[in-house]
Amino acid sequence: MRFTKMHGLGNDFILIYRNTEPPDSESSRLAMQMCDRHTGVGADGLVWVYPSDHADIAMRIINADGTVADQCGNAVRCVAKYYYERISAKKEAITIETKRGIQMVWNRVDQGEVSQVCVDMDEPILNPAQIPINVTADKVVNQKVQTEGKTFHFTGVSMGNPHVVIEVEDAVSFPVETWGPLLENHELFPRKANVEFITIHSPGEITMRVWERGVGQTMACGSGACAVVVAGVLRGKCSRQATVHLKGGDLHIDWNADDNHVYMTGPATFVFEGKWDES
Ligand SMILES: N[C@@H](CCC[C@H](N)C(=O)O)C(=O)O
């Protein structure tokens, strides 16, 4: 089975093209085997790419632990570049069918190569029942959560997948590996959560570190960066257009006031191709 390794700001994926929609059962086992960094290819997730009846192409993302995710901003950018350079006749504006729905994506091409990809990440979901978060309210903004005797204040946002955004003094030195798993699995979050720890430098500039549901600490999370800007706006601390600095580089986020959609722009990179022998 041939695969392509790609990454979006260090959030890395194994892309496999197939002719039909993949079965979830096969996906979990394969994702766990291939994503293993010691005995597999090594990646944060497995991405199936396959033909769609409703869009230019379809994709499914499976986390490294075998769980299926509904959204992955960085993987959508990778699939857009893969489609442009490996499948289509260099189509710049494409539609990608994901579990979240059909996403519009624009490849920005520089000297024949896709340099940046802009993704319409749709509207943020703020209703706690839909995120989901076990809180009765219209929105969850700066709400208390306690774990192991420590209190954090979080804002809840779904971008198709659940995010919990927490402001800390210094996101870069924050012990993500300690608090990330405790919050991911907290009883307030019935489908678990991706957890973003952020420091706001100015309304348009934020540093973020992320603990991803089903993966662990990653170098970047596209849907997480979108959630971070939405949370910052809800708290009156960020502007709708902001640059988010992640471990692997920068994403530019625009929460558009006219259509309420969040647009994410950043790079996607090919790493290598290979062949996986199933045993
Ligand atoms: N890295 C992704 C998000 C991947 C899915 C996530 N771990 C989940 O389970 O929701 C991104 O770039 O958005």
Each residue of 3-34: pLDDT tens digit? 999 999 999 999 999 999 888 778 999 999 99
Q: How far apart are CA 97 and CA 73, in angstroms?
A: 13
- Whether 118 is a known active-site residue: answer no
Q: Residue 265: what are its φ and ψ, rounded to 5°?
A: -125, 130
Which residue's structure tokens are 């309420």? 260
Catalytic residue, chosen from 78, 118, 221, 226, is 221
3-class SS at 25?
Answer: helix
Q: What is the pLDDT of residue 199?
A: 98
- Whether 72 is a known active-site residue: answer yes
Q: Where are the domains of the chain?
A: 2-122+266-275, 143-258
Q: What is the pLDDT of residue 195?
A: 99
Q: Which atom of ligand 1 is nearest to the CA of 8?
A: 12
Q: What is the pLDDT of residue 22?
A: 87
Q: Which atom of ligand 1 is nearest to the CA of 218?
A: 1
| Fold match, 2-122+266-275 / 143-258 | yes
The complex's ipTM works out to: 0.98
**CATH code given to domain 143-258:** 3.10.310.10
Q: How many CB atoms lie within 10 A of CB 137?
A: 13
* Residue owning the nearest CA to atom 2 of ligand 1: 72
Q: Which fold has domain 2-122+266-275?
A: Diaminopimelate Epimerase; Chain A, domain 1 (3.10.310)
Q: Determine if residue 213 is labeled as part of a ligand binding site.
A: yes
Straight-line distance from the first to the last Cα atom of the chain, in angstroms, rounded to the nearest whole number: 11
Q: How far apart are CA 102 and CA 117, in angstroms?
A: 16
Which among 202, 128, 136, 120 has a CA at the least distance from the CA of 164?
128
For 159-228, strand residue ranges (E) read 162-167, 194-202, 205-212, 216-218
With 80 as the cut, is the pLDDT of residue 279 above it?
Answer: no
3-class SS at 233?
Answer: helix
User: pTM to 2 decimals?
Assistant: 0.97
